[in-house]
Amino acid sequence: MNSVSVRALLIRGMFAGLLAGVLALAVAYFLGESRLDAAIALEESHAHTHTHEHGEELVSRTMQATGGLATGILVFGVAIGGIAALVFCYALGRIGAFGPRATAALIAGAALLTVYVVPFLKYPANPPAVGDPDTIGQRTGLFFLMIALSVLLAVAAVLAGRRLAQRLGNWNAAVSAGAGYVLAIGLAYAFLPSFDEVGADFPAGLLWQFRLSTLAVQVTLWTTFGLAFGYLTERLLVGAGAAGQAAPRGAGVGAGVAH
């Protein structure tokens, strides 16, 4: 079987991440920035002396909404694309009889769920004027802790599912491992502190529009990455030679990735 270098997959992962970042940037700009501007206007209307106390902004709002936003999302897209490509190198052929596109889609979906959706449900994004400035450090730390717990528990669930499959079968093992993950996340939700710092005068509609726009950015990013990376890797791996078809059942293309 022909070997495919990790470097080739890594480059395609980063390119797919860049493409996903471009589309996510469009969603963030056209869907999220208007909500952010509205929240900033509310914040400034409740702080009459804000401008006099802090003086001129170091970075203008225009730069934040254009260059700053683009840099952050595009760099993030390339970074997660490279990381996901490395995960793909390990996962292909080891998580079932899935082809490159299906494996890429599963990785993207799992990343969206574990890295963003699960932490988001516990600690959703807040626009300006929402939240106590004195707790922002604690809230940020807990959000990243929730990400770490979610990822580690997901990895543990996958490993447990593989072991249970020998005794329970693939379907029952997957259900059992998934139930264990949900239970563990539920316990984390219950024991980690929560924050309810939304003021009574802040429009509920604007709050949820802002939160849904941040969720839409992540859904766009990971969905685009999964589709683009799956397409690119399938072309690469199929083009690497027909020897992949002669590989033993279950070995998968991932077993032939050269390190």
**3-state secondary structure (DSSP) of residue 169:** coil
Q: Which residue has the higher pLDDT, 259 or 218?
A: 218
Which of 196, 221, 238 is at the close of a domain?
196
Both 92 and 173 in one domain: the answer is: no
Domain interval for residue 75: 4-46+63-130+198-258
Residue 38, in any domain of the structure: yes
Q: Is residue 234 part of a domain?
A: yes
Examine the domain organization and report whether 181 and 215 are in the same domain: no
- Residues 14 and 88 reside in one and the same domain: yes
- Asked if residue 35 lies in contact with residue 243, where contact means CB atoms within 8 angstroms, the answer is no
Closest CA to 173 of 159, 187, 185, 184: 159
Residue 117 vs residue 239, higher pLDDT? 117
- Residue 133, pLDDT above cutoff 80: no
Enumerate the H helices of the chain as residue ranges: 6-27, 33-45, 50-54, 61-63, 69-91, 100-111, 118-122, 136-168, 170-191, 204-239
Asked if 20 and 225 touch (Cβ cutoff 8 Å), the reply is yes
Higher pLDDT: 238 or 140? It is 140
Same domain, residue pair 96 and 20: yes
- Regarding whether 185 and 242 lie in a shared domain, the answer is no
In a domain, 164, yes or no: yes
Question: What region does 47 belong to: left with phi over 0, alpha with psi -120 to 50, or beta?
Answer: beta
- Spatial distance between the Cα atoms of 248 and 229, rounded to a whole number of angstroms: 25
**Is 253:4 a contact under the CB 8 Å cutoff?**
yes
pTM of the model: 0.79
Total of domains in the chain: 2
At residue 186, the pLDDT reads: 94
Domain presence at residue 186: yes
Which among 196, 211, 234 is the end of a domain?
Answer: 196
Instruction: Take residue 2 and report the two structure tokens written for it.
Output: 């022909």
Asked whether 177 and 160 are in contact (CB, 8 A), the reply is: yes
Are residue 12 and residue 96 in the same domain, yes or no? yes
Rounded distance, CA 201 to CA 181, Å? 37
Is the residue at 55 inside a domain?
no
- Residue 53, domain member (yes or no): no
Most confident segment among 97-111, 164-178, 194-208, 234-248: 97-111
Assess whether 23 and 91 both reside in one domain: yes
Res. 50: pLDDT tops 50: no
79 and 113 in a single domain? The answer is yes
Tens digits of residue pLDDT in 157-213:
888 888 887 888 878 888 988 999 999 999 999 999 887 766 666 777 778 888 898
Query: Do 182 and 216 fall into the same domain?
Result: no
What tokens were used for 115? 């890295």
Pair 69, 119 in one domain: yes
Average pLDDT of span 71-94: 89
